[in-house]
Amino acid sequence: MEDEQSFSDICGGRLALQRRFYSPSCLEFSLSCPRITLRSLTAVTCTVWLAAYGLFTLCENSMILSAAIFITLLGLLGYLHFVKIDHETLLIIDSLGIQMTSSYASGKESTTFIEMGQVNDVVINEAIYMQKVIYYLCILLKDPVEPHGISQVVPLFQSAKPRLDCLIEVYRSCQDILAHQKATSTSLEGGDRIISASNRRSHSGMGAYWHRQEDKR
């Protein structure tokens, strides 16, 4: 069952959140980033070529112009393949794990999968990013040494950077599945695991990710 909603990111660009519900234990969120616009592409190309033409009038060497064309083409290809992310997907499978996929504009996909045994919780965290305070969704990983400690913070949707309303949607669905998974594993092991409450709280994690920003304690 599919569902599409429109949100905005922290800069005001339009994002589309697509939610696919495969089964009560499997959910997929796909957030598509704003596309590369013709205006920005034209602006960059014109700047590079104007600079090359300026150099050409100084040096009288026609190699500069061909070099500028090469640089523009290679730069555009490199940007599409390595930098520009088209959409980001989050796939949660109960009792298996959480998978994050980033698809680049050239079609390249880079995937990370975190097993459910390593996931402590999924929370919304606040951070200072340049001059703004923003919210971001992150996965807290368990510490192998200390059972209730946190070893790493993995932020999600880093390129899309959605606002809080979008994050709350994703957060609620994640917490439903995680709660179900924790209830199952607690009853399985009958152990002393703490079942986390589905309330928003901020954690101070260890991860030095994402533009070196501070986490509010």
Partner 1 sequence: MGLVSRGAAEAGLGAASAVDRPGPPDAVPNPTPTPPAEGADPGSSRPSMVLKAFFPTCCASADSGLLVGRWVPEQSSAVVLAVVHFPFIPIQVKELLAQVQQASQVGVTVLGTWCHRRQEPEESLGHFLEGLGAIFSHKPWFQLCRERGSKSWSCKATHWQGPASPAASGEDQVMLIFYDQRKVLLSQLHPPTALPNRQAGDTTASAGGLAAVFDTVARSEALFQSDRFDEGPVRLSHWQSEGMEASILVELAKWAAGPVCLFLACLLSLISAASACRVFKLWPLSFIWSKLSTCEQLRHRLEQLTLIFSTQKAESPAQLMRKANMLVSVLLDVALGLMLLSWLHRKDLIGQLADALIPVADHVAEELQHLLQWLMGAPAGLKMNRALDQVLGRFFLYHIHLWISYIHLMSPFIERILWHVGLSACLGLTVALSILSDIIALLTFHIYCFYVYGARLYCLKIHGLSSLWRLFRGKKWNVLRQRVDSCSYDLDQLFIGTLLFTILVFLLPTTALYYLVFTLLRLLVVAVQGLIHLLVDLINSLPLYSLGLRLCRPYRLAAGVKFRVLEHETGRPLRLLMQINPLPYSRVVHTYRLPTCGCHPKHSWGSLCRKLFFGELIYPWRQRGNKQD
According to CB under 8 A, which one of 15, 31, 85, 91 is a site residue for partner 1? 91
What are the backbone angles phi and psi of residue 99, rounded to the nearest 5°? -125, 130
Query: Would you count residue 8 as binding partner 1 (CB under 8 A)?
Result: no
- The interface mask with partner 1, positions 130-159, x = CB under 8 A, is ------------x-xx-----xx-------
Number of residues that bind partner 1 (CB under 8 A): 28
Distance of alpha carbon 11 from alpha carbon 8, whole angstroms: 8
Query: Would you count residue 82 as binding partner 1 (CB under 8 A)?
Result: no
Query: Would you count residue 196 as binding partner 1 (CB under 8 A)?
Result: no
Cβ 15 vs Cβ 7: under 8 Å: yes
Q: Which is nearer to partner 1, 91 or 134 (CB)?
A: 91
Helices (H), the chain: 38-59, 63-78, 164-189
According to CB under 8 A, which one of 15, 68, 93, 153 is a site residue for partner 1? 93
Token digits for 94? 């109960």
Using CA of residue 204, residue 209, residue 212, residue 213, what is the dihedral sign?
negative
Query: Would you count residue 101 as binding partner 1 (CB under 8 A)?
Result: yes
Distance of alpha carbon 69 from alpha carbon 49, whole angstroms: 8
Helices (H), 79-192: 164-189
End-to-end Cα spacing for the chain: 39
According to CB under 8 A, which one of 106, 111, 198, 204 is a site residue for partner 1? 111
Closest CB 19 distance from partner 1, rounded Å: 13
Amino acid at 21: F
Span interacting with partner 1, options 3-11, 59-67, 77-85, 111-119, rule CB under 8 A: 111-119
Neighbours of 49 (CB within 10 A): 16
Query: Would you count residue 169 as binding partner 1 (CB under 8 A)?
Result: no
Query: Would you count residue 26 as binding partner 1 (CB under 8 A)?
Result: yes
Q: Which residues bind partner 1 (CB under 8 A)?
A: 22-23, 25-26, 28, 91, 93-96, 99, 101, 111-113, 115, 117-118, 142, 144-145, 151-152, 180, 183-184, 187-188
